[in-house]
Amino acid sequence: MRKAQKELEKKGMTNRAWHKEKGSAAHHIVAGDDPRAQDARDILELYKIDINCAENGIYLKHIDPNSKQSGAYHRIIHTDQYYKTVNQRILDASNFGGRTGVLNELQRLQEDLLFNKQIW
């Protein structure tokens, strides 16, 4: 996880509007190595969207579920339902809007996680 966090920071994650509180973790919306995310990863690759780009990341509370970090609790969201939801939304965005549609959908997924909309 530290490697992923460093990669996101290097690629501009810290330039996003999201504030990082102590005890939070960088979260890839489309996971970099979980096999359940392969369909969405393939679409990112098709459009040359780097898995570690800021658009595919968000800081989430990680150590304490009651942290003042905004958003979902990182340790509970990696479910089959989460990956199904992300894969379908990225596929739909690709079909209807191409690369721009995918980038816009990543932003909507960020917002869902930021405002703790249960997509997992």
pLDDT by position in tens, the chain (length 120): 566 666 666 666 555 546 788 888 889 999 999 999 999 999 999 999 999 998 999 999 898 888 888 888 899 999 999 999 999 999 999 999 999 999 999 999 999 998 888 888
pLDDT value of residue 17: 45
pLDDT value of residue 64: 85
Single-letter amino acid code for the residue at 63: I
Domain boundaries, the chain: 1-115
Whether 91 and 40 have beta carbons less than 8 Å apart is answered as yes
Q: Copy the structure tokens of residue 30.
A: 């489309």
